[in-house]
Structure 1
Amino acid sequence: MTTPAVNAGSQLLVHRCVDCRRWVYPEAERCPVCAGPLAAEPVSGEGTVFTYTVNHHAFQPAIPVPYVIAIVELAEQTDLRMATNIVGCPPDEVAVGMPVRVAFEQRGDMLVPVFERA
């Protein structure tokens, strides 16, 4: 699974076809619809929880359990979905269809996109 890029201004970047303007995630070499070239562009960071699960097993000691692993559908395009974590919201309050917005967490030398309740 690829992680979407984040630019220096803390914007979420997703690849978009230069020709047909379709958003493409996960990253690919060419557009799967028209085979056009792709370029990273900023998205709004707004979306909704498409589905989720609550993890109660500590795979990574630095991440306290429980935590929410979700598929978020971005507002830019139906079927533009990414796997992420939902933060700043008790796991029992997360729901399918819940509006969310991107936030960023520093993990080592990387700025990682996560989502919080909008």
Structure 2
Amino acid sequence: MGANMKAQALPADRVRITTDTSTEPFWQAAKQERLVAPKCAACGTFRLPPTPFCPECQSTEVDWTELSGRATVFSFSVVHGFPGLPDITLVPVILDLPDAPGARLVSNVIDVEPEKVEIGMELEVLFSPISDGWLLPLFRPVARG
């Protein structure tokens, strides 16, 4: 890997999603460049990934809550190469969402040298086009300034 190689996203045509009744609101919001999380309307528990019922109280009632788009790195890995893309560097992350306590989101960090990614790093969302007209939430370091 060359010096100063930044983490990237997969090319748009390599990313496909499927939706169901539990996940469709997440993806529709992403199309509008909004990050949302399902919150149980009965007990207030956030749940990501979205599920048909609350893991705490089993309610099927859900409120989709708009989030700030801020996140912190809970865990990450650095992946060098992908099938058919030997020169790509990916940094998949598990994210903590400060305005959705207990929820975890899996995404990718981009626009940063992989060796600079660390647990606790502050990130912000951006939305990247993928297949079939959808937008994928990705994350980059919060601009300091």
Provide the TM-score with structure 1 as the length reference: 0.86
CA distance in 2, matches of 1:18, 1:47: 23
Name stretches of at least 5 consecutive residues in structure 1 with no aligned partner.
none
1:24 lines up with 2:38 in the alignment: no
1:86 lines up with 2:109 in the alignment: yes
Moved over 3 A (4+): 1-4
CA distance in 1, matches of 2:39, 2:130: 26
Name stretches of at least 5 consecutive residues in structure 2 with no aligned partner.
1-16
CA distance in 2, matches of 1:111, 1:77: 21
Greater radius of gyration (CA): 2
Offset of residue 87 of structure 1: 0.8
> Paired residue for 2:71?
47
CA distance in 2, matches of 1:28, 1:19: 15
Paired AA for residue 49 in structure 2: P
Provide the TM-score with structure 2 as the length reference: 0.71
Task: Give the number of the structure with larger relative contact order, counting CA–CA contacts within 8 Å between residues 6 or more apart.
Answer: 2
Q: Once structures 1 and 2 are overlaid, which stretch shifts more, 100-109 or 74-83?
A: 74-83
CA distance in 2, matches of 1:81, 1:32: 14
Q: What percentage of aligned pairs have identical amino acids?
A: 26
Q: C-alpha offsets along residues 29-73 of structure 1, whole Å, 9 cap, x if unaligned?
A: 111112221232211111100111110022353x95112111111
Select the structure that is richer in helix.
Answer: 2
Q: Once structures 1 and 2 are overlaid, which stretch shifts more, 51-60 or 79-88?
A: 51-60
